[in-house]
Structure 1
Amino acid sequence: MFDLHPSLVLDEAIPSGEAGSSAETAPDDRPLIDAYSEAVVDVVDRVGPAVVRVETPPDREKRHRGGTGSGVVISPDGLVLTNSHVVQGASSVRLALADTRTVKARVLGDDPHTDLALLRVVDDVSLPTARLGNSKELRRGQLVVAIGNPLGFESTVTAGVVSALGRSLRSYSGRLIDDVVQTDAALNPGNSGGPLVSSRGEVIGINTAVIAGAQGICFAVASNTASHVVSEIVRHGRVRRAFIGVAGQTVPLPRRLAVALGLRQAYGVAIANLEAEGPAAKAGLQTGNIVLALDCEPVTGADDLVRLLGGARIGIETTLTVIAGAALKQIVVVPTERTAEAKS
């Protein structure tokens, strides 16, 4: 009987070319890719049935040529969110559902300043719904999914990430829309009015615009702004706003400055633009000032400023707490009612 040399046993146990391969093997990315795919599929399964195609007929009297876009059902009684520029003043709208049914809807309210419109289905039907989420919880890099009808291709799904938050975008009325979400999820004409959805299956934006000639620079109106618009239209039939003449964006407060001023909040709204004859400019607010509070109500994002400047503040003295330079300052503003001509 012969004993095998240990080196021979080792050579037989490890096939040629595989010695040391365990240390050099690349990580297996398949579980991550599968998890990403499952997340997108889950979002589409949950929200896809609530996405509709919005069709408006031509109207010669109103010089409306008709058109198509997307929308999303947000309540069981048939409330549908879409873009203002999709309905363009139409009074009657037809909706094509994901299950191939078509229903009629009427325009409850149209707000060009935020490029949002609210529709109500008039037919007696049961509709799947999607839930509006809290856009303030979004983070850059977060996975998002866009669902809509780009270029007429129904129920199209694209995925990407949140590229930036707190952007300002000029609406079709000429006014700056604050707190806009930027994403690289591919959008095309026809996606307008459709939902931008988080991995939780919550609508965190209403897709509104694409920059022509750009790659992966697309925008959605934040869901918190949409929630405010829906509430106003349901209650008043329109969005009543107090106007102070500013455009701003959400910014983090410099840590040293926040500590020096004894501030607990981490964000404020930096004034990017002032209407020359607006109430804020007349009261002494300046570009670069950071708004922290409005009548002692914290302002931690541009959506807070939009929400707090409701119709009830029109003509009422309102105190803005701002950072001016390196100091806190109180500025008293008297808002006016926003008119159709108001740009900011």
Structure 2
Amino acid sequence: MNTQFVSFTDAVSQPGENGEQDQILLDAYSNTVVNVAKKVSPSVVQIKVSGRNQNASRAPQPGRRPGSSRPGSNDGGSGSGFIISTDGYIITNNHVVAGASSLVVGLPDGRDFDATLIGRDPATDIAVIKIYADGLKAIRFADSKQVQVGQIAIAVGNPYGFQYSLTAGVVSALGRTLRSESGRLIDDVLQTDAALNPGNSGGPLVNSNGDVIGVNTAVILPAQGICFAVSSNLAALVAGKLIIEGRVRRGYLGIAGQLINLTERIKQYNQLSTRTGVLVASVEADGIAGNGELMQGDIIVEFNGHPIATVDDLHRHLTDDTIGRRIQLTILRENRQKGVIVIPGEMN
């Protein structure tokens, strides 16, 4: 049988042509990473921590922190951060600096400076520190809402004390969540396969333009290439509040709540859109929150008209805007809907 090969192009492929094309593509990728390294590295710092007790901080779950470069040490370690203003403000992770009595920032030019803690937010694992130095180069934030799966992601930090190391990969997924030290969920977390190791925590995850798309936060140790970063939009918002107010204010209801499944009959009778709610296990009358209309056994299903299916939903709505305001909760009491008024206090 005669076999004929059909060509779908007029061009004749010459030996070595594909290799040359691959080399051009490789050079383009390499040039991108090299240029990012040159642009970003002057803004990335090493944070040396001392005087911290063993249980001072915990990283977000289910990841494991790449924060301390000396695992198991009970007096300190090191992590990463990046300069966000020429007057010395630096973003890092809360679990890098929590409980430390001394913070020293090492700059790429070899200078060391004592740092002051401006504020930290365990609920998002973001912290801001400040140094007083000249000749600082700030890094810019990108809009993390514009990030797409598959785009280049480059991490710069100080893993295991090896200063200003760079790893590159892609954005693997968007919209992940992590459980923070405070028990709240960190929303809009980026997943990347750019390798992170102990000491990378608090360093920037940047795009191909060298702008920050996330703050490297956690890894899953048994896995390969599953790393997480707090989105740049959330980090910038929290950092701004820490710089201006020294803290992030959040609402507090003074209750202990837990997830409860609703029967189909209860759901249909009350015309609910969710299959679960938040059972009020106890009410704490501590005077911080106005919760006198709530009773043990109530099931919260709406917050100011927004459906509530989990405790995390409730946390998301308890922002600083709700503190001191009259908020209507829709609850189920004896399986029937009822509206009650609460006044969230400020969480300590």
TM more than 0.5: yes
Q: 1:92 aligns with which of 95, 102, 109?
A: 102
The answer as to whether partners of 2:50 and 2:101 remain within 8 angstroms in 1 is no
Q: CA deviation at 1:32?
A: 1.4
Q: Within 5 A, what are the aligned runs for 1:15-164?
A: 21-22=13-14, 26=18, 28-59=21-52, 65-121=75-131, 123-164=132-173
Q: CA deviation at 1:124?
A: 3.7
Unaligned 5+ segments in structure 1 are 1-19, 247-270, 292-304, 321-330
Q: Among the aligned pairs, what percent are the same residue?
A: 46
Alignment CA distance shift 1:240-1:54 (3 Å): same
Q: TM-score, normalised by structure 2?
A: 0.69
Query: Over the residues paired in the alignment, what is the CA RMSD in angstroms?
Result: 3.5
Q: CA deviation at 1:109?
A: 0.3
The answer as to whether partners of 1:92 and 1:107 remain within 8 angstroms in 2 is no
Aligned length: 272
Q: 1:336 aligns with which of 315, 326, 344?
A: 344
Q: Which residue of structure 2 lines up, in the alignment, with residue 209 of structure 1?
A: 218
Q: Look up the SS of the partner of 2:237 in the other structure.
A: helix
Q: Look up the SS of the partner of 1:127 in the other structure.
A: coil
Distance (Å, rounded) in 2 between the aligned partners of 1:138 and 1:71? 21
Q: Look up the SS of the partner of 2:115 in the other structure.
A: strand
Q: Look up the SS of the partner of 1:26 in the other structure.
A: helix
Distance (Å, rounded) in 1 between the aligned partners of 2:99 and 2:32? 37
Q: CA deviation at 1:315?
A: 3.6
The answer as to whether partners of 1:208 and 1:219 remain within 8 angstroms in 2 is yes
Cα displacement string for residues 122-161 of structure 1 (whole angstroms, at most 9, x for unaligned residues): x342311111221111000010100001111111000000
Cα displacement string for residues 103-129 of structure 1 (whole angstroms, at most 9, x for unaligned residues): 1111000111111110011x3423111
Deviates more, 1:142-151 or 1:54-63: 54-63
Distance (Å, rounded) in 1 between the aligned partners of 2:280 and 2:153? 40
Q: 2:208 aligns with which of 199, 221, 229?
A: 199
Unaligned 5+ segments in structure 2 are 1-11, 57-73, 258-273, 282-290, 292-297, 330-338
Q: Which residue of structure 1 lines up, in the alignment, with residue 62 of structure 2?
A: none
Distance (Å, rounded) in 2 between the aligned partners of 1:272 and 1:217? 31
Alignment CA distance shift 1:140-1:277 (3 Å): farther
Alignment CA distance shift 1:129-1:333 (3 Å): farther
Give the letter aligned to residue 287 of structure 1.
A
Give the letter aligned to residue 246 of structure 2.
G
Q: CA deviation at 1:281?
A: 6.3
Alignment CA distance shift 1:69-1:276 (3 Å): farther
Alignment CA distance shift 1:158-1:23 (3 Å): closer
Give the letter aligned to residue 339 of structure 1.
M
Alignment CA distance shift 1:74-1:216 (3 Å): same
Distance (Å, rounded) in 1 between the aligned partners of 2:54 and 2:25? 55
Q: 1:228 aligns with which of 228, 237, 241?
A: 237
Alignment CA distance shift 1:318-1:214 (3 Å): same
Q: TM-score, normalised by structure 1?
A: 0.69
Distance (Å, rounded) in 2 between the aligned partners of 1:204 and 1:287? 30
Give the letter aligned to residue 336 of structure 1.
P
